[in-house]
A and B are shown apart, each in its own frame.
Chain A
Amino acid sequence: QVTLRESGPALVKPTQTLTLTCTFSGFSLSTPGMSVSWIRQTPGKALEWLALIDWDDDKYYNTSLKTRLTISKDTSRNQVVLTMTYIDPLDTATYYCARLGVAIGYYFDYWGQGTLVTVSS
């Protein structure tokens, strides 16, 4: 059974660095073709893809946010970590992690339940 779970602070102050962790089970991020992405949704707005890391440790970032984002993985602990620097109130959103395996298909088949991050002083 595949599950993903996001964790991190619920409240962050502006200019701080946000660190989110995606802990998953039921699959391995060392399996060829496998990847995990971070996706966010600001209140009342659309889904916004943020970053992806794959089995080969290749990393891809949202073009407009790439200077602020870092994605990494710990395969042994089944975790993917996203850091976002210089947090702003506009970054208030629900942050999701999701699995995509190109050997399965080019879509997100499993999502975490999301974690709400509020940016406020």
Chain B
Amino acid sequence: VLTQSPGTLSLSPGKSASLSCRASQTFNSGLLSWYQQKPGQAPTLLIYGASKRAPGIPDRFSGSGSGTDFTLTIDGVEPEDSALYYCQRYGGSPPITFGQGTRLEIE
């Protein structure tokens, strides 16, 4: 099980966002990914291997963590960062698990 917090995060432009993803069991950080989903769109990959940015992702997005605790940080949020954010684990049974998501609102 992956538990994301907070459920909703409201920030002003320019602030830093910290999104948490906590696993019920420790696992290899190489198996942890983060996705962004904007309304009406499919999710897009942001971070893989817990800390590697996907191609084309701005460097204000960063990932960190190990074991059971992982964090997606967005430094200097912009209005376009308003979206849902999901963590995902590969491996175990079942082989794919998503967190329940964090809604980021930039006001």
Contact = CB atoms under 8 A, between A and B. Distances in A.
B98 A46 contact: yes
Interface stretch (B14-22, B64-72, B73-81, B83-91): B83-91
Nearest to B43: A111
Interface majority SS (helix, strand, loop, mixed), chain A: strand
What is the interface residue range for chain B against chain A? 20 to 34
Interface residues on A, range: 20 to 34
Interface string B40-59: 01111100110000100000
Nearest to A100: B90
A111 B44 contact: yes
B33 A106 contact: yes
Nearest to A108: B45
Contact of A106 (B42, B54, B91, B94): B91
Given A46-B99, A49-B96, A52-B96, A109 B45 contact: yes
B42 A111 contact: yes
B90 A46 contact: no
A105 B94 CA distance: 18
A37 B43 CA distance: 14
B98 A48 contact: yes
Interface in A81-121: 96, 98, 100, 102, 105-109, 111-114
A48 B96 CA distance: 9
From A96, A102, A111, residue with most partner B Cβ within 10 Å:
A111
A63 B94 CA distance: 7
A114 B41 CA distance: 8
A55 interface: no
Contacts of A98: 42
Contacts of A16: none
10 contacts: A37-B96, A47-B86, A49-B97, A96-B42, A100-B90, A100-B96, A106-B30, A107-B33, A107-B45, A113-B41
Q: Which 3 A-B pairs have the closest CB atoms?
A: A106-B90, A107-B33, A111-B42
